[in-house]
Amino acid sequence: MSSRADPFTLPEWHALRREASLVSQVIGAGATALGRASYGKSFGEYYTAFFGLSIGIERLAKLILVADHIIEHQGALPDAQTVKAFGHRLEHLIKKSGDIAEKRGIANPHLSPSDPICAAVIDCLDSFAAASKGRYANFETIGNPNFDPSNEPVNKWWEKVVEPILDKHYRGRQAEHRVRHRARVVGKLLSDVSTILFFDENGNQMTDLQVASERSGQTKWAQEYGRFYALAVVRWLSHIFIELVHSAGYGDETPCLFGHHEFFYSYKVDDKTLRTRKVWPLS
């Protein structure tokens, strides 16, 4: 007869269930916000996205490290000091997750975090997590003539992530020609009877209707593919977590891992779904 404990009676099972649920939802909120972010009235969505994705990816990687510790130590959870020692740097945590996958023989068929645009996503989210360069950058700018504007999170995202996306998926294609043609038409029709004032993601003032219209066209690719490459990192980590805990959750020594992988199946989808679905996690 199996000596396996009922996972639903274990406080540690409930703690991990709550954490997995939190992580899945926070990532989803970030990805959803990123798909709405733009230079206009939705500028704040960039920051919502960066908060959700930076926190969610960090904690998903930590779930992988915790699960590996539980398996390695026959069901014993790491203590608070061990978890604290994991640190907060996304690049480090993602590398450790990859090391665990290699150790456990988990092959990952998905786009890797080493992809140049995925790596830029990680770098931007890592910078955002750093208080002075990221989430408190607006306060750091006030009264600080030495603040480097390239560290402003949205500006950095556009330069490091969106510009490569536009180069790869937009520029020189029919999509760019359509956007530019529409922007010229809008400019000719409305410039003489309209006045606008917007600021783009780099902080540049836009008073020209044609310029603003073209930026709006580019935003579609920034939203769709920015979300795709961010979620590609999440999918890669989700695959490791799912493979790591799916079988282990049925083991006699590790019942506290039972079922937590189910929170991350939303992110184990094909490229097209990852790119086009606007609300996350999937229901």
Q: Is residue 4 part of a domain?
A: no
Q: Is residue 208 part of a domain?
A: yes
In percent, how much of the chain has pLDDT > 90? 88
Q: Is residue 109 part of a domain?
A: yes
Domain count, the chain: 1
Q: Is residue 54 part of a domain?
A: yes
Q: Is residue 2 part of a domain?
A: no
- Helices 209-248 and 44-72 cross at an angle (nearest 10°) of 20
Q: How confident is the model at residue 1 (pLDDT cuts 50, 70, 90)?
A: very low
pTM: 0.94
User: 1 exposed, middle or buried (CB, 10 Å; 0-12, 13-18, 19+)?
Assistant: exposed
Task: Give mean pLDDT, residues 120-149.
Answer: 82
Over the stretch 216-271, which tens digit does the pLDDT of each residue have?
Answer: 999 999 999 999 999 999 999 999 999 999 999 999 999 999 999 999 999 999 99
Residue-level pLDDT at 132: 66
| CA 193 to chain centroid | 41
For 115, other C-beta atoms within 10 Å of its C-beta total: 14
- Helices 90-103 and 209-248 cross at an angle (nearest 10°) of 40
Q: How confident is the model at residue 206 (pLDDT cuts 50, 70, 90)?
A: very high
Q: Is residue 173 part of a domain?
A: yes
Domain of residue 232, residue span: 11-276
Residue-level pLDDT at 279: 98
Give the pair of three-digit tokens for residue 144.
């600080």
Q: How confident is the model at residue 134 (pLDDT cuts 50, 70, 90)?
A: confident
For 246, other C-beta atoms within 10 Å of its C-beta total: 15
Q: Is residue 233 part of a domain?
A: yes
Task: Give mean pLDDT, residues 1-21.
Answer: 90
Over the stretch 43-69, which tens digit does the pLDDT of each residue have?
Answer: 999 999 999 999 999 999 999 999 999
Q: How many residues does the chain have?
A: 283
Over the stretch 16-44, which tens digit does the pLDDT of each residue have?
Answer: 999 999 999 999 999 999 999 999 889 99
Give the gyration radius of the chain's Cα atoms.
Answer: 22
